[in-house]
Amino acid sequence: MVAQVVLNNKEQNIDKVFDYAVPEGLSGRVSVGVRVSVPFGWGNRRVEGIVVSISEASEYKNLKEIAAVIGNVPVCDPEILELCLWVSRKYFCSLYQAIKLATPPGMSSGVREKSVKTATLKLGREAAFGIAGVLRDKGAVAQAKILEALLMCETLPFAKLVREKGGTYDAIRALEKKGYITIETEQIERTVYDEKKYEKTVAYKPTPEQKTVIEHLEKVIEEEKKEKILLRGVTGSGKTEVFLQAIEKVIEKGKNAIMLVPEISLTPQMVQRFVSRFGNKVAVIHSALSNGERFDQWNKIRNGEVKVVVGARSAIFAPFGNIGIIILDEEHENSYKSETSPRYHAIDVAEKRAELENCVLLLASATPSVSEYYRAKTGEYTLFEMTKRYNEGKMPEVDIVDMRGELFGKKNMSPISEKLQCEIQKNLEIGQKTILFLNRRGYSTFVSCRECGEVVNCPDCSIAMTYHKGKDLLSCHYCGYTQRNVTECPSCGSSYVKYFGTGTQKIEEELLRIFPSARVLRMDTDTTSQKGGHERILEEFSKGGADILLGTQMVTKGLDFHDVTLVGVLAADTSLAVDDFRANERGFSLFTQVCGRAGRGDIAGRAVIQTYQPQNSTIQLARNHDYTAFYENEIIQRKRLNYPPFCDIIYIMATGENEDEVKTVAEEMGKRFDSLMRKDKNIFSKVGPAPAPIAKIKNSYRYRILLKCKDANAAHGFLREIYEEHEKGRSGVFLTIDINPVSMY
Ligand code: ADP
Ligand code: ZN
Ligand code: ZN
């Protein structure tokens, strides 16, 4: 028997598979997915590896033998291992990096469970009482105290015996040796939601539009068919209810479901809707969980204690099989793409997983990404559309305010327009709620010298520092560097430093100035950094503790408050002024989503969008909630300019602390692509090498090359070759290859 083993080689990002002979004595324990220790290299040093497959024989002679099997269970199941292997090949990372995604922290490197050790009395009470007395007389007081404590309670955790009852760890062990007590390890489970808090709900009677989709889903789930479906449903059309009923069907079939939502909309509200319907059959995975909590959730999934996993991107690797449906809500969201290695996109992984599981893949959004909608239109997905709100409620009435007129016409210096002020006032008077959205946190978005024009930048990044008023600090939103505020220009020493740009802190101050009695809640990274911060703010807002919820992206998605009737977008332009071919797509989606927070109950909603470019077609189309028109426009532009979905973009970035070295590597890389492009017509356009728009982050210089190609998969072999060669070189320059990146900075 021969095992194919991938070694845990921290220096290399690309794996090689090695054959090892399985010695007789280990043949029962070696299977796909187990960790093994193997001799490697000239010195036969021991290296850890994972068995990825098993064969009868090998084409190589004189194989070395596996030295030992580590642990008793495979790191993950064979299906998940297959998924990880696929990820490692597709995204240029090692299998170990991929497996990290599929296992909770600590799992792949050895088990680190949250457990508690307990001692239980083995003796009868009378005997124990007698022995305690003897021990006490002998001077073994700690042992005596432990027995006396156990006389009362029979079983107690170690910690309690030591801290409260006067025992010691040595004494506990001594008693065990003598056979007076038994020691056990109990797993403690940390819960991430309180099931009792949520009222049980049952399925709503579906609207006619919902019914069509639900019936179709039930049919494919029943027939255990593989199908890719895209659901476009306007905000408030009841997409979540469709998910819930489809999952109900999946559970009825004895199968499991994965429900992905973007991190940002993984609000307590969303979790509540799932727990209310499915009780403790739900596991929840998001980035705010502690390692211990995360570990418990993964364990529950692995042990088959739950049927539904609700989670952000990484939950696509949830460790269970027998999957009946995989759902991605808000499919267009950027957070589905990982920005660190492995740079995977959850849609791609979901597609692969659905294929391996032979199950339904459902993507949903009010504003599908142009690429996915195109795929649906061209037959790759079955397309369903829900165009009405569940209660036949109207879409919010959207007003566009020209901010140029505010300053020059109305002499209104406030970042809040007269129109929006007036609407907020109305809401305050009738006791209805308002959500305000601004893309920037902090007080002022940059600090600049009036004398010499210098902008105060982060010392480590080519990025302006943001002013935070309360603590009088400047902070870099890229690397987190903070420093005391400046009173003098760091460049010319002038004291004419001035604050520009508006962040959420400043708007909060402005709101309190204009509406002194309004109760304002601010939700951004600064106010939610503490655990549960998010939840606390939303709960306060929902319970009527505030009139206005002001925040960054966090307030734009997933919130379903029936008494919010007004939404304000304070600076639409900051969301559009992005140097990326998807700027319009993102702007449209953002405005549609945020406006969709208004009027979800019985009272019609309204929205105000403030902008310096009121004629901008994206803003105009968002005002009319016209996705189809937006898409028709956009797809023509994409085709004309040759952008995705009509091509793939390959983004190659070289980074390092020595700018000359980085530049040299990037230039050499560039030349290789030039010569490749002369032979191979797959890659048809190249930009760079040139410094990236943000030329330096955390003291690391960044040079990029952008390639457009017909099919990234066809370029894979060559990219891999380049990557492997670079890895061998071991220079101080890092290379990143990203296929269809979500950010090109
Ligand atoms: P979407 O995800 O499409 O924005 P939601 O699923 O959040 O919409 O639904 C909006 C609101 O409508 C929720 O409060 C939900 O409980 C309610 N709802 C959805 N479908 C129905 C239905 N068939 N009957 C009654 N209420 C419904
Ligand atoms: Zn200056
Ligand atoms: Zn910085």
CA 192 – ligand 1 centroid, Å: 25
- Please calculate the CA angle 164-170-173 and round it to the nearest 5 degrees: 100
Asked whether the beta carbons of 665 and 652 are under 8 A apart, the reply is no
In the beta sheet, which residues pair with residue 4? 19, 53
Please report the pLDDT score of residue 106 as a whole number.
55
Please report the pLDDT score of residue 233 as a whole number.
94
pLDDT averaged per 10 residues, the chain (length 745) = 86 80 89 90 87 90 90 81 90 85 60 70 84 90 90 79 86 92 74 70 89 96 94 91 96 95 74 89 82 80 91 91 94 90 93 95 96 95 93 87 85 90 94 93 88 87 86 84 88 89 91 94 84 83 91 85 92 80 90 89 90 91 93 94 92 93 92 88 89 89 93 88 79 88 82
The protein residue whose alpha carbon is closest to atom 5 in ligand 1 is 238
- Please calculate the CA angle 35-36-38 and round it to the nearest 5 degrees: 150
What single-letter amino acid sits at 473? Answer: L
The protein residue whose alpha carbon is closest to atom 23 in ligand 1 is 206
- Please calculate the CA angle 704-439-367 and round it to the nearest 5 degrees: 80
Q: Which one, of 194, 188, 191, 218, lies nearest residue 206 by Cα? A: 218
Count CA within 13 A, CB hemisphere, residue 712. 20
Please report the pLDDT score of residue 110 as a whole number.
40
Please report the pLDDT score of residue 399 as a whole number.
94
Residues, CB within 5 angstroms of ligand 3 (ion): 458, 460-461, 476, 478-479, 481
Question: Is the beta carbon of 238 within 6 A of some atom in ligand 1?
Answer: yes
pTM exceeds 0.75, yes or no: yes
Cα separation, 682 vs 685, whole angstroms = 9
**Locate tokens 């001692």: which residue?**
119
CA 210 – ligand 1 centroid, Å: 10
The protein residue whose alpha carbon is closest to atom 13 in ligand 1 is 238
CA 445 – ligand 2 centroid, Å: 18
Alpha-carbon dihedral sign for residues 408, 411, 415, 419: negative
Cα separation, 574 vs 572, whole angstroms = 6
Asked whether the beta carbons of 373 and 347 are under 8 A apart, the reply is no
Q: Which one, of 181, 134, 186, 142, lies nearest residue 164 by Cα? A: 142
Q: Which of 215, 235, 241, 592 to mutate to test the pocket of ligand 1 (most atoms within 8 A of CB)?
A: 241
Asked whether the beta carbons of 594 and 556 are under 8 A apart, the reply is yes
Asked whether the beta carbons of 468 and 474 are under 8 A apart, the reply is yes
Position in ligand 1 atom list of the atom nearest CA 237:
3
Position in ligand 1 atom list of the atom nearest CA 233:
3
Question: Is the beta carbon of 210 within 6 A of some atom in ligand 1?
Answer: yes
Tokens of 390: 């569940």
**Locate tokens 């021991």: which residue?**
46
Measure the CA dihedral 580/584/590/593, to 10°: -140
Count CA within 13 A, CB hemisphere, residue 298. 29
DSSP 3-state assignment of 569?
strand
Asked whether the beta carbons of 228 and 351 are under 8 A apart, the reply is yes
Question: Is the beta carbon of 444 within 6 A of some atom in ligand 1?
Answer: no
Direct distance between the N- and C-terminal alpha carbons of the chain, in angstroms, rounded to an integer: 50
Cα separation, 416 vs 425, whole angstroms = 12
Cα separation, 156 vs 305, whole angstroms = 27
CA 403 – ligand 2 centroid, Å: 30
Q: DSSP per residue over 503-549, as a string?
A: -HHHHHHHHHHHSTT--EEEESTTTS-STTHHHHHHHHHHTTS-SEE
CA 451 – ligand 3 centroid, Å: 24
Ligand having the closest approach to the CA of 488: 2
Please report the pLDDT score of residue 111 as a whole number.
40
Please tell me what DSSP assigns to residue 334.
G
CA 237 – ligand 1 centroid, Å: 6
Question: Is the beta carbon of 563 within 6 A of some atom in ligand 1?
Answer: no
Question: Is the beta carbon of 60 within 6 A of some atom in ligand 1?
Answer: no
What single-letter amino acid sits at 24? Answer: E
366: CB partners within 8 A, 6+ apart? 232, 233, 234, 235, 237, 239, 589, 592, 593, 596, 627
Label residues 330-359 b or e (16+ Cβ within 10 Å = b): bbbbbbbbbeebbbbbbbbbbbbbbeebeb
